[in-house]
């Protein structure tokens, strides 16, 4: 070898060993020709051990099936292949530093590309480049869970975990629209804890908070459909959307909730209704035949709740919305306690 070529080889040697990337060159039989320092450090296999051996014999702890297929394609059909870390997290048994090659040590996340090359003497080889994507994977994972948390915070009430009013407004609009498009009914329940001011005044605000949390838990446990939406509409007021639910269904749900709160049996010494915490519930339903708008439905449920309060609390009232009746003329139906 002439001295100039020798120097050039040494320079190349330094470059591929300095590079922060795994580089493996294999010949058309899958035998290692080049094995850089990065691969040695992350595999625990030295260049001396690797050169002249096949990858399969070196990586006895398992090459991924996707990697084997990619290598076959690159060597046989001269097709370049990229194994992205999204689909193929860790195709090669390479480990973070210090590499111990212990079974329990997790592999680094990798992006691997295989590029067929032809040497000046016409031989087919394959250059394998490996990038450690663990850092970007961790960052991506953190961003994802962060954005998931942000979206939870934006749609739920921090105290009770029920959906918040903002989420209710969105879902209400969407479910109301669905009634007209799909012809399925929609029921809206407005619920309010009775004499809650007196509860807070007597037992203290933190105890009041615990009541709100328990009530939401209990309400949620009474609803069977994943499409039902429980929201904290105001301080001690809750709105429940029941898509695809007629009056009879809504009434059954309201009674079930009322009974479930009764069985919670939270003492309320200052209630003027009972010796335990109770709810008043207003119901309004909307079907494709009724021509009211979303606000009207909301006002109707609210008026039904107001009526329940006015008529003694701890009861359920229903107000018809159909046929463009005004609230004043709307028909109040007593559904009993
Ligand atoms: N502990 C607690 N109390 C709250 C919260 N939000 C609202 N409240 C209280 O809920 C009470 C609501 O009082 P009112 O609107 O007078 O209603 P009420 O006393 O339940 O009377 P009726 O609804 O007529 O039976 C107020 O004392 C509020 O401070 C909260 O997050 N935690």
Mind listing the pLDDT tens digit for each residue in 30-82? 899 999 999 999 988 999 999 999 988 888 777 778 888 888 888 888 888 88
Atom of ligand 1 nearest to the CA of 205: 1
Q: Is the pLDDT of residue 137 over 70?
A: yes
Mean pLDDT (whole number) for 142-147: 89
Q: How far is the CA of 196 from the centre of ligand 1 (A)?
A: 5
Query: 172-222: per-residue pLDDT in tens?
Result: 999 999 988 888 999 999 999 999 999 999 999 999 999 999 999 999 999
Query: Which structural domains are found in the chain, ordered by start?
Result: 3-139 (3.30.450.20), 156-334 (3.30.70.270)
- Closest residue by CA, ligand 1 atom 6: 235
Beta strand 279-286 with 316-319: parallel, antiparallel or unpaired?
A: parallel
Chain mean position to CA 334: 41
pLDDT band per the 50, 70, 90 thresholds, residue 321: low
* pLDDT recorded at residue 234: 93
Query: 245-289: per-residue pLDDT in tens?
Result: 999 999 999 999 999 999 999 999 999 999 999 999 999 998 887
Q: Is the pLDDT of residue 334 over 60?
A: no
Chain mean position to CA 207: 32
Tell me how crowded residue 58 is: count the other CB atoms within 10 A of its CB. 18
Q: Is ipTM beyond 0.95?
A: no
* pLDDT recorded at residue 248: 93
pLDDT band per the 50, 70, 90 thresholds, residue 323: very low
205 in ligand 1 pocket by Cβ < 6 Å?
yes
* pLDDT recorded at residue 333: 46
Q: Is the pLDDT of residue 327 over 50?
A: no
Atom of ligand 1 nearest to the CA of 207: 1
268 in ligand 1 pocket by Cβ < 6 Å?
no
SS (H, E, C) the chain: CCHHHHHHHHHHHHHHHHCCCEEEEEECCCEEEEECHHHHHHHCCCHHHHCCCEHHHHCCCCCCHHHHHHHHHHHHCCCCEEECCCCCCCCCCCCCCCCCCCCCCCCCCEEEEEEEEECCCCCEEEEEEEEECHHHHHHHHHHHHHHHHHHHHHHECCCCCCECHHHHHHHHHHHHHHHHHHCCCEEEEEEEECCHHHHHHHHCHHHHHHHHHHHHHHHHHHCCCCCCEEEECCCCEEEEEEECCCHHHHHHHHHHHHHHHHHHCCECCCCCCCCECCEEEEEEEECCCCCCCHHHHHHHHHHHHHHHHHCCCCCEEEECCCCCCCCCCCCEEECCC
Atom of ligand 1 nearest to the CA of 159: 31
305 in ligand 1 pocket by Cβ < 6 Å?
no
Q: Rounded CA gap, 178 and 43, in Å?
A: 57
- Sign of the C-alpha dihedral, residues 290, 293, 295, 296? negative
Q: How far is the CA of 169 from the centre of ligand 1 (A)?
A: 22
- Show the tokens assigned to 49: 């051990």
pTM metric for this prediction: 0.68
209 in ligand 1 pocket by Cβ < 6 Å?
yes
Q: How far is the CA of 308 from the centre of ligand 1 (A)?
A: 16
Tell me which residues are annotated as active site: 236
196 in ligand 1 pocket by Cβ < 6 Å?
yes
In whole angstroms, how far apart are CA 272 and each of 72, 73, 84, 186? Answer: 81, 80, 67, 33
Q: Is the pLDDT of residue 331 over 50?
A: no
- Cβ–Cβ < 8 Å for 55, 63: yes
Query: 24-44: per-residue pLDDT in tens?
Result: 999 988 899 999 999 999 988
Atom of ligand 1 nearest to the CA of 211: 1
157 in ligand 1 pocket by Cβ < 6 Å?
no
Atom of ligand 1 nearest to the CA of 209: 1
282 in ligand 1 pocket by Cβ < 6 Å?
no
In whole angstroms, how far apart are CA 267 and each of 48, 191, 223, 258? Answer: 79, 19, 24, 15
* pLDDT recorded at residue 328: 39
Q: How far is the CA of 187 from the centre of ligand 1 (A)?
A: 25
- Ligand 1 pocket test target in 235, 307, 317 with most atoms within 8 Å of CB: 235
């Amino acid at each position: 070898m002439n001295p100039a070529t020798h120097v050039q080889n040494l320079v190349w040697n330094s470059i591929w060993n300095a590079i922060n990337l795994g580089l493996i060159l294999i010949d058309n039989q899958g035998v290692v020709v080049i094995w850089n320092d990065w691969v040695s450090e992350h595999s625990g296999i030295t260049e001396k051990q690797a050169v002249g051996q096949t990858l399969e014999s070196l990586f006895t702890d398992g090459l991924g099936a996707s990697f084997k297929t990619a290598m076959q394609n690159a060597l046989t059909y001269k097709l370049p292949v990229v194994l992205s870390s999204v689909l193929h997290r860790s195709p090669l048994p390479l480990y973070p530093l210090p590499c111990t090659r212990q079974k329990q040590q997790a592999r680094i996340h990798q992006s691997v590309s295989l590029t067929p090359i032809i040497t000046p003497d016409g031989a087919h080889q394959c250059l394998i480049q490996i990038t450690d994507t663990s850092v970007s994977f961790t960052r991506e994972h953190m961003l994802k869970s962060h954005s998931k948390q942000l979206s939870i915070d934006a749609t739920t009430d921090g105290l009770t975990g029920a959906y918040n009013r903002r989420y209710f407004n969105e879902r209400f609009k969407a479910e109301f629209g669905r009634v007209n498009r799909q012809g399925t009914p929609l029921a809206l329940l407005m619920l309010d804890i009775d004499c809650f001011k007196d509860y807070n005044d007597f037992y203290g605000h933190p105890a009041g908070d615990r009541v709100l949390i328990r009530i939401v838990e209990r309400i949620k446990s009474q609803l069977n459909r994943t499409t039902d939406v429980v929201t904290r509409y105001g301080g001690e007021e809750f709105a429940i959307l029941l898509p695809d639910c007629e009056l009879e269904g809504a009434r059954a749900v309201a009674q079930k909730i009322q009974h479930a709160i009764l069985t919670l049996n939270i003492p309320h010494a200052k209630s003027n209704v009972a010796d335990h915490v109770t709810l008043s519930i207003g119901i309004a339903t909307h079907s494709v035949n009724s021509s009211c708008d979303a606000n009207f439905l909301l006002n109707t449920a609210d008026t039904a709740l107001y009526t329940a309060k006015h008529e003694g609390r701890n009861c359920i009232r229903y107000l018809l919305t159909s046929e463009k009746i005004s609230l004043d003329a709307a028909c109040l139906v007593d559904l009993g306690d």
